[in-house]
């Protein structure tokens, strides 16, 4: 290689740019490489024979659903349930979340709303449905005389989510994550004892009914956790598709009618 130490930096840079204009994409070494020469593969080296006893048997994977069922056994109050769920270590989502989000509203309410998972605002405040979608939810139920802050169970709401932690980038929880949270959700409903459940979106329907397709399910009374349930489109969907608010209003009126009839 020629000695270029006598050249100044501007000259060297000009030479390099010239090489790049010619199409050079990588530097070459001092020794030429014959790229047409036959490549001889190295001889394989036999792995050393190691007795099986040198390694312990692999530990089986944890059955997260079984662990969740075990965690809710003996839970007799919502406070105990919140503590048990917050301590559940097998859900990877919790590692990226800021806060554990359990519920909001009046636990004695006749209506229990189940959403999907906390979003950014919910993760910050530690309460479900407090962002734009939550504000719309409050206005929707206020239109039929229900509010999460009401003391009267007949006029109040109780709100929770399938997932108590915010998924990364607000992604939809997968089937395994839903399955491991299901025992907690089942116990949550059993302890709150609502008369009516509102399933807000696909994820609650997947958890409670074992099927999704909210646009086909909405507006029809179903049974979830032994309670009458109304699937509804999520307020976030209504913010993107304002024409769907008419159908959501019809679903709210159906909830109101059922509450009035006491059925």
Whether residue 17 is contained in a domain is answered as: no
Whether residue 57 is contained in a domain is answered as: no
Could you tell me which residues come within 8 angstroms of residue 160 by beta carbon, excluding any fewer than 6 positions away? 102, 103, 104, 112, 113, 114, 115, 128, 185, 188
Whether residue 56 is contained in a domain is answered as: no
pLDDT tens, position by position, 42-98: 455 454 444 444 444 444 578 999 999 999 999 999 999 999 999 999 999 999 999
CA dist 176 and 188 (Å) reads 19
Range of the domain at 84: 64-261
Whether residue 138 is contained in a domain is answered as: yes
Which neighbouring-strand residues pair with 199? 114, 231
pLDDT at residue 214 in the model: 97
How large is the average pLDDT for residues 191-207? Answer: 98
Which neighbouring-strand residues pair with 113? 159, 198
Could you tell me which residues come within 8 angstroms of residue 115 by beta carbon, excluding any fewer than 6 positions away? 128, 129, 159, 160, 161, 162, 200, 201, 203, 204, 234
Residue with tokens 């079984």: 66
pLDDT at residue 28 in the model: 62
Residue 21 or residue 223, greater confidence: 223
Whether residue 34 is contained in a domain is answered as: no
Whether residue 22 is contained in a domain is answered as: no
Number of domains in the chain: 1
CATH number at residue 110: 3.40.470.10
**Phi and psi angles of residue 103, each rounded to the nearest 5 degrees, phi first:** -165, 175
Q: Are 108 and 117 contacting, i.e. CB atoms less than 8 angstroms apart?
A: no
pLDDT at residue 69 in the model: 97
Whether residue 127 is contained in a domain is answered as: yes
Query: Is residue 18 very low, low, confident or very high in pLDDT (cuts 50, 70, 90)?
Result: low
Whether residue 212 is contained in a domain is answered as: yes
pLDDT tens, position by position, 148-191: 999 999 999 999 999 999 999 999 999 999 999 999 999 999 99
């Amino acid at each position: 290689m020629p000695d270029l130490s006598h050249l100044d930096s501007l000259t060297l840079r000009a030479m390099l740019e010239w090489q790049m204009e010619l199409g050079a994409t990588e530097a070459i070494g001092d020794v030429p490489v014959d790229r047409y020469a036959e490549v001889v593969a190295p001889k394989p080296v036999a792995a050393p024979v190691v007795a099986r006893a040198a390694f312990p048997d692999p530990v089986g994977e944890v059955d997260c659903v079984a662990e969740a069922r075990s965690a809710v056994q003996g839970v007799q109050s919502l406070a105990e349930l919140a503590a048990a769920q917050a301590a559940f270590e097998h859900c990877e989502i919790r590692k990226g979340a800021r806060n554990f989000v359990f519920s909001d509203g009046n636990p004695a309410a006749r209506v229990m709303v189940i959403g999907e998972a906390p979003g950014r605002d919910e993760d910050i405040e530690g309460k479900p449905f407090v962002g734009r979608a939550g504000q719309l939810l409050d206005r929707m139920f206020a239109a039929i005389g229900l509010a999460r802050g009401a003391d009267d169970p007949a006029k109040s709401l109780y709100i929770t989510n399938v997932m108590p932690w915010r998924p990364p980038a607000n992604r939809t929880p997968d089937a395994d994550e839903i399955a491991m949270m299901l025992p907690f959700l089942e116990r949550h409903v059993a302890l709150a004892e609502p008369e009516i459940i509102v399933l807000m979106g696909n994820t609650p329907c997947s958890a409670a009914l074992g099927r999704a397709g909210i646009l086909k399910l909405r507006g029809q009374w179903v049974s979830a956790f032994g309670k009458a349930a109304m699937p509804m489109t999520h307020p976030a969907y209504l913010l993107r598709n304002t024409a769907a608010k008419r159908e959501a209003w019809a679903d709210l009126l159906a909830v109101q009618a059922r509450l009035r009839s006491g059925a």
